[in-house]
């Protein structure tokens, strides 16, 4: 966008201030105020005691944190969360990037059918395919006596179902924008396929792969349904434990689930800060390809 156009747009926009615009800003502000309220309610509650009827707790304490840590064995839960999400990222990138290369570079019969296979897991609700998947996994357990469901391995497999299509759908446009002439030129100069891959493609792919991996990481840490359906007690991730503790309210102090929620929130925010170093916010929901103009 040229500077002039931006200036024209800017003045046109200022002239066009109407009540509806103010309404839009008001709604946005209202949204943020409530969001902040929701987030800080949980944070304050996890550190507070005895604040019924008051604006803020009367007693500040950290003992709910240590209670939650021991009651839910959070050290182990964090370890499981880490292993599962890193494994999902690595496998989905190793499987998804080559597939997106083929989809970006070749036109072949049944390409639409293949694209549909990669698109459907994104479109179908996780519960809808998670239930048959978990059932099939438990069936597999009883037939072969190999633990798939109820284990970390099963959780990783289940989380790969949305992760691989996500990598494919975000990396295909990214690879499409890499000029194929670069590869042809390298081949003309006598580079072997392996050399083209390591010297030409890999360096060009790194930014896209980094962005896709961090997005898959965020999604996997936050994925509730599939993990909930396939995990056993010692293979639950943090978000599933959090759900258990909120839905089992009354058994334990609600502050304990708040402590866990704040821990989860902190983890997500760290991931988000890392993610935003590699991608801009709109890319978190759309695509990985960098836009020069944005």
Partner 1 sequence: MTVAPPAPAPARRHRPPDPRAHLSHRLAERGIDRTLWLLLPGVVFLVALFIYPLAYGLGLSFQPLKSTDPLYNYKQFFTDHLQRDTIGTTLRISLPAALVNVIASVPIAYRMRGRMRGKRFITTMLVIPITLGTVLTADGMLKFFDPAGGWFNKTLFASHIRTPDQPVLLINNYWGVVISLIISGFPFAFLLILSYLSGIDPSLDAAASTLGASPRRRFWQITFPLLAPGLAITFCLTFVLAFSVFPSAYLVGNPTSTTRVISIAAYEARSVETNDSKASTIALIMAVIELLVISVVLFGRGRLYRGSTGGKG
Which residues inside 239-268 make contact with partner 1, applying CB under 8 A? 239, 242-243, 246-247, 254, 257-258, 261, 264-265, 268
- The site that binds partner 1 (CB under 8 A) totals a number of residues, namely 107
Backbone φ and ψ for 30, nearest 5 degrees, come out as: -60, -40
Residues 172-211 interacting with partner 1 (rule: CB under 8 A): none
Query: Minimum CB separation from partner 1 for residue 124, in Å?
Result: 5
Name the DSSP class of 249. B
Query: Minimum CB separation from partner 1 for residue 80, in Å?
Result: 16
Query: Minimum CB separation from partner 1 for residue 292, in Å?
Result: 12
Whether 57 contacts 254, CB under 8 Å: no
Query: Minimum CB separation from partner 1 for residue 60, in Å?
Result: 16
Query: Where are the alpha helices (H) located in 124-252, listed in sequence order?
Result: 126-144, 152-176, 180-188, 193-195, 202-222, 225-230, 238-247
- 50-58, 73-81, 183-191, 199-207 -> range binding partner 1 (CB under 8 A): 50-58
Q: Applying CB under 8 A, does 287 fall inside the site for partner 1? A: yes
Query: Minimum CB separation from partner 1 for residue 115, in Å?
Result: 10
Residue 125 class from Cβ within 10 Å (0-12 exposed, 13-18 middle, 19+ buried)? exposed
* Largest separation between any pair of C-alpha atoms in the chain: 77
- 51-59, 72-80, 82-90, 184-192 -> range binding partner 1 (CB under 8 A): 51-59
Residues 116-155 interacting with partner 1 (rule: CB under 8 A): 116-118, 120-136, 139
Q: Which residues contact 181 (CB under 8 A, 6 or more apart)?
A: none
């Amino acid at each position: 966008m040229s500077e002039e156009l931006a200036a024209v747009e800017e003045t046109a926009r200022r002239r066009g201030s109407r009540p509806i615009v103010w309404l839009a800003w008001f709604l946005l502000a209202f949204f943020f105020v409530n969001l902040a309220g929701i987030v800080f309610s949980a944070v304050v509650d996890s550190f507070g005691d005895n604040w019924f009827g008051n604006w803020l707790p009367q007693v500040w304490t950290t003992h709910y944190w240590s209670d939650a840590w021991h009651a839910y064995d959070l050290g182990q839960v964090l370890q499981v969360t880490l292993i599962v999400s890193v494994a999902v990222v690595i496998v989905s990138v190793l499987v998804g990037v080559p597939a997106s290369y083929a989809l970006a570079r070749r036109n072949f019969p049944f390409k639409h059918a293949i694209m549909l296979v990669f698109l459907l897991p994104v479109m179908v609700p996780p519960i809808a395919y998670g239930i048959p998947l978990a059932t099939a996994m438990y069936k597999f357990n009883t037939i072969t006596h190999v633990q798939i469901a109820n284990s970390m391995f099963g959780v990783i497999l289940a989380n790969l179902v949305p992760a691989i299509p996500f990598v494919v759908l975000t990396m295909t446009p990214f690879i499409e924008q890499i000029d194929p002439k670069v590869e042809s030129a390298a081949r003309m100069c006598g580079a072997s396929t392996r050399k083209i891959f390591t010297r030409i493609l890999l360096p060009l792919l790194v930014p896209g792969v980094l962005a896709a991996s961090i997005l898959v990481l965020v999604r996997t840490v936050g994925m509730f349904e599939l993990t909930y359906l396939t995990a056993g007690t010692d293979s639950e991730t943090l978000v599933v434990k959090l759900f258990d503790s909120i839905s089992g309210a009354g058994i334990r102090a609600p502050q304990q689930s708040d402590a866990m929620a704040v821990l989860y929130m902190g983890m997500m925010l760290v991931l988000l800060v890392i993610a935003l170093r590699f991608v801009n916010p709109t890319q978190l929901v759309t695509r990985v390809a960098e836009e020069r103009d944005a």
